[in-house]
Amino acid sequence: MKIILAQQNYHIGNFELNTQKILEGIKAAEAQGADLVVFTELCVCGYPPRDFLEFDDFIQQSYAAIDKIKAHTANIAVLVGAPARNPQPEGKDLFNAAWFLHEGEVKQVIHKTLLPTYDVFDEYRYFEPGYAWNVVPFKGKKLAVTICEDIWNLGDNPLYRICPMDQLMEQQPDVMINLSASPFDYNHAQDRKKIIRENVRKYGIPMYYCNAVGSQTEIVFDGGSVIFDAHGNIIKELPYFEEAIGGYDLETLLQSDQPAPPVDYIPVDELKPDYNIDRIYQAIIIGIKDYFQKMGFTKAILGSSGGIDSAVTLALAVEALGKENVRAILMPSPYSTEHSVDDAVALSKNLDNPYDIIRINDIYETFLQTLQPHFEGRPFNVAEENTQSRIRGNLLMGLSNKFGYILLNTSNKSELSTGYGTLYGDMAGGLAVLGDVYKMQVYALARYINRDKEIIPHNIIDKAPSAELRPNQKDSDSLPDYAVLDSILYQYIERRQGPKEIIAQGFDAALVTRTLKLVNTNEYKRNQFCPIIRVSSKAFGVGRRVPIVGKYLS
């Protein structure tokens, strides 16, 4: 029996497109002589559908798509993910389900048991947990079909009280098949392989694991579908960050007698800026590309300051969208240095993207004159600094509205964490490209972009970062060294360590207290921010929910 995995890039709620992709996948699998083709979790409607699931019309369209797909299963069996109605009045109205289609019929519907409700996941809001477990009989074999989280309940501190595979093993299955939509973070592919290997070693049978690919607003899926033999060896792995189809013969897999590989999982408990930077780069590229394609946008605009953040954002956008589709706007103020303007011009010349220089001196002076009678003679402070930033935001949005550009935000995670940004100014935008990338990772991305030749001028990488909103300003005037700051932020945000635990690691107590206070008191700014492409295990946005009004560490 040949089983094929189809990792595809779906569009949430686009049933026509998704169905067409699935039918193309079935045709391609048939051409490879497959007996069964496996797609991904909720592939029919796209993942995560969120509150679309509350609309009966959405569910009806999903059922109609299943009817179209099953008509193409005369000679091949198909496993697809889609919501299924719960016939019982008790509990939620829907299940997250895997539909087993064959011979033009729905042969079996498998319900997901473990519903993640943490970070970016909110499945218990919509779905009822599965409560019956049955293998799928097919061509003389018993298939143990699970969905994503169902295989993750292992270890010394399991999140759930039940393990679906424990139940299915009572029926002596021959193979595990998992339909997944497992999001990317820069360490998650390693976590994924570790958990699959633990499953195959625990249960002693091979696994076919099919993962989604593509970006859905802030969440990126990286693919990497994989087939393991019963000893924990990777027999086949599909590529990352692209659609692909491939499989392996089950009988051959069951006969595999390769020795078990050594443990290759190395936990990463500290922030290493260069760690998996190539994967972060790929995730951001697909995040930009899919956001624009799926929303029907074609052109981007951004403010280019000659600093590292805007430079990296511009280079990423050009790679994702094409040089002709990304317009850079240089907006020097009275405090901008000429070398910053020269650096920004050199960058756009290297990238060959269109750019304009719009000096804001006169606009800024007009603002100051208008506000001067109302500032009551108070000294220059953040009000005058932020005025420059908001002027730039207005100019960028004016051009965006006039020409249909989408404004890309250039703020990094270090700045967003500490509130080092101006609401309605440099925090404006339709998509945050670097919002889940710490400052030291931004530098690592710049070095990666320059891996073959100089694209980002070395002067941009080497000079001290500055907002250039007052004379001789440096980021270090307001923030600690980024290498230290990023490490503290990582311990607090990603690892959820408290102040005592962070101080115990050797960080200065006053600095830790100040940093955590900055993070918590600036939640109101982040709550008004645009979507952020997620590349870490804990990004700002839907995956991190803390009160705006609160006293903890503030």
End-to-end CA distance of the chain: 60
Can you give the pLDDT at residue 479? 85
Residue type, 28: A
**Phi/psi at 243 (nearest 5 deg)?**
-70, 145
Paired tokens of 366: 């007009």
Superfamily of domain 277-526: HUPs (3.40.50.620)
Binding site listing for deamido-NAD(+): 386, 415, 525
Which DSSP letter does residue 262 get?
Answer: P
Find all residues with CB under 8 Å of 349, minimum gap 6, and list them: none
Q: What angle (nearest 5°) sits at the alpha carbon of residue 364, between those of residues 363 and 367?
A: 90
Residues 6+ apart with CB under 8 A from 347: 304, 306, 311, 314, 315, 328, 455, 456, 457, 460
Name the token pair of 553.
Answer: 């560490």
d(CA 318, CA 323): 5
How far are the Cα atoms of 26, 276, 331 from residue 51, in angstroms, in the given order? 29, 33, 41
Of 197, 124, 181, 126, the closest CA to residue 149 belongs to 181
- Give the pLDDT score at 413: 98
SS3 content of the chain, % helix, strand, coil (to 5): 40, 20, 45
Helix axes 15-31 and 56-70, enclosed angle (nearest 10)? 20
Look at residue 266 in the predicted model and tell me its pLDDT. 66
Domain ranges of the chain: 2-254, 277-526
User: What residues act catalytically?
Assistant: 41, 112, 148
* Residue 271: predicted pLDDT: 82
Say which residue the tokens 């497109």 belong to.
Answer: 17
Burial of 490 (0-12, 13-18, 19+ CB in 10 A): buried
Parallel/antiparallel/unpaired status of strands 219-222 and 213-216: antiparallel
From the list 518, 436, 426, 522, the residue with the least C-alpha distance to 480 is: 518
Inter-residue contact 491 to 521 (CB < 8 Å): no
CATH homologous superfamily, domain 2-254: Carbon-nitrogen hydrolase (3.60.110.10)
Contacts of residue 264, defined as CB under 8 A and 6 or more positions apart, other chains included, come to none
pLDDT of residue 108: 98
Residue ranges of the binding site for L-glutamine: 118, 182
Q: Which two tokens stand for residue 383?
A: 């009000």
Closest by CA to 43, choosing from 188, 218, 293, 214, is: 214
Give the C-alpha distances (Å, rounded to integers) separating 394 from 19, 278, 389, 427, 515.
Answer: 42, 34, 9, 12, 30
| Alpha helix ranges (H) inside 322-381 | 338-351, 361-371
Nearest to 232, CA basis, from 265, 258, 271, 266: 258
Match 């509130």 to its residue by tokens: 419
Which residues are annotated binding-site positions for ATP?
303-310, 410
Pick out the residues of the known binding site. 118, 182, 303-310, 386, 410, 415, 525
Q: Which residues of the chain are under the pLDDT cut of 70? A: 263-269
Q: How far is CA 462 from CA 22, 38, 453, 478, in A?
A: 48, 49, 16, 19
The type of residue at 486 is D
Q: What are phi and psi of 270, to 5 degrees?
A: -135, 155
| Cα angle 298-57-39, degrees, rounded to a multiple of 5 | 65
Return the HEC string of 19-68: HHHHHHHHHHHHHCCCCEEECCCCCCCCCCCHHHHHCHHHHHHHHHHHHH
Cβ distance 1 to 251 under 8 Å? yes
Question: What is the SS3 string spanning 462-509?
Answer: HCCCCCCCCCCCCHHHCCCCHHHHHHHHHHHHCCCCCHHHHHHCCCCH
Q: Helices then strands (H, E): number in the chain? A: 17, 19
Are residues 136 and 100 in contact, defined by beta-carbon separation less than 8 angstroms? yes
Residue 457 near residue 347, CB atoms below 8 Å: yes
pLDDT of residue 267: 66
* R_g of the chain, CA atoms, integer Å: 26
The answer to whether 442 touches 465, Cβ cutoff 8 Å, is no
Judge whether 434 and 413 are in contact, CB under 8 Å. yes
The secondary structure of 168-211, three-state, reads HHHHCCCEEEEEECCECCCCHHHHHHHHHHHHHHHHCCCEEEEE
221 contacts 183 by C-beta, under 8 angstroms: yes
Query: What single-letter DSSP state applies at residue 240?
Result: B
- Other CB atoms within 10 Å distance of the CB of residue 71: 12
Asked if 293 contacts 17 with a C-beta cutoff of 8 angstroms, the reply is no
For residue 96, give both structure tokens.
């997250």
In which residue are the tokens 């530098």 written?
Answer: 443
68 phi and psi angles, rounded to 5 deg: -65, -40
